[in-house]
């Protein structure tokens, strides 16, 4: 009986091999019975950077003069010698002199949602030796030895159930070389501001309702993770604004091409 069954299966296999139409029918049934595997419909990218929690956070501003525990004037930044001028003026932190997250006297030419972290990737010439190794996005952001790979990077800052998004525009507070904290697992080093590890602008302060010295959580974010909000409207350094201008240029170029084609 076992031999007859084996012989039957052998003949059936030969029949399929010599009858392509029948073989195709078998294949179609098999494919029909396979479970469908769908790609995830989620368009949100996976988070690459963890939250750093319970970080003492202080408020600083462009044009701030030395005083108290602030030992360095904020007329310049680690990456911009004309920071105040390029911003458009003194970013007055007085709430009475502000409206809609900006000073009432002028419209900033850079994103009013900015922050500082205690690391500077730039050296006098080129970048610090550890930068290519410790800055996670160094290779993709590299634009030559004169350009910081950290400046303008987006950061999410959380207080309670609110999250503000700001761009990294300066190195501090106090430290400029603490990459082990900024990119690693260390905590901020002790300093005159209760161990502060993050400085935020008046706009971030107002959005989150922070005190002059407070505690927040923060993490780096890829631009694709940043939602639109008051941080997406102003600034020549603002990724939203830059992308919007590029889109407008493409639309204008397309309209000009159509006019030329119609005129022929």
* pLDDT digit string (tens) for the chain, length 264 residues: 444 444 444 334 433 344 444 444 434 333 333 333 333 334 444 468 999 999 999 999 999 987 665 566 789 999 999 999 999 999 999 999 999 999 999 999 999 999 999 999 999 999 999 999 999 999 999 999 999 999 999 999 999 999 999 999 999 999 999 999 999 999 999 999 999 999 999 999 999 999 999 999 999 999 999 999 999 999 999 999 999 999 866 655 555 666 666 666
Give the position of tokens 């609110």.
162
The CATH number assigned to the domain with range 52-245 reads: 2.40.40.10
| Domain-wise residue ranges, the chain | 52-245
Q: How confident is the model at residue 65, as a pLDDT? A: 83
Q: What pLDDT is stored for residue 17 in this prediction?
A: 43
What pLDDT, on the 0 to 100 scale, is given for residue 165? Answer: 98
**How high is the pLDDT of residue 42?**
40
Rg of the Cα trace of the chain? 29
Q: Hey, which residues does 171 pair with through a beta bridge?
A: 117
Specify the pLDDT at position 249: 64
Exposed / middle / buried, residue 77 (Cβ in 10 Å: 0-12, 13-18, 19+) = buried
Q: How many Cβ atoms sit within 10 Å of the Cβ of residue 2?
A: 6
């Amino acid at each position: 009986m076992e031999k007859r069954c084996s012989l039957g299966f052998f003949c059936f296999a030969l029949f399929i091999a010599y009858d392509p139409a029948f073989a195709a029918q078998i294949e179609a049934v098999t494919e029909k019975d396979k479970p469908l595997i769908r790609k995830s419909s989620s368009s949100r990218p996976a988070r690459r950077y963890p939250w750093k929690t319970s970080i003492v956070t202080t408020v600083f501003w462009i044009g701030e003069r030395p005083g108290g525990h602030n030992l360095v004037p904020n007329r310049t930044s680690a990456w911009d010698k004309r920071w105040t001028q390029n911003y458009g003026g003194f970013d007055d932190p007085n709430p009475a002199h502000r409206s809609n997250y900006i000073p009432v006297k002028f419209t900033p030419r850079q994103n009013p949602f900015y922050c500082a972290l205690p690391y500077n990737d730039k050296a006098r010439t080129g970048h610090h030796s550890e930068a290519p190794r410790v800055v996670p996005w160094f290779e993709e952001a590299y634009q030559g030895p004169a350009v910081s790979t950290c400046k303008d990077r987006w950061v999410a800052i959380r207080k309670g159930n609110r999250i503000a998004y700001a761009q990294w525009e300066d190195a501090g507070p106090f430290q400029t070389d603490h990459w082990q904290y900024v990119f690693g697992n260390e905590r901020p080093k002790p300093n005159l501001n209760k161990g502060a590890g993050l400085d935020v602008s008046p706009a971030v302060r107002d959005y989150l309702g922070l005190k002059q010295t407070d505690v927040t959580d923060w993490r780096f974010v890829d631009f694709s993770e940043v939602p639109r909000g008051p941080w997406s409207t102003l600034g020549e350094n603002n990724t939203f604004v830059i992308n919007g201008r590029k889109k407008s240029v493409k639309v204008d170029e397309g309209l000009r091409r159509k006019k030329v084609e119609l005129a022929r």
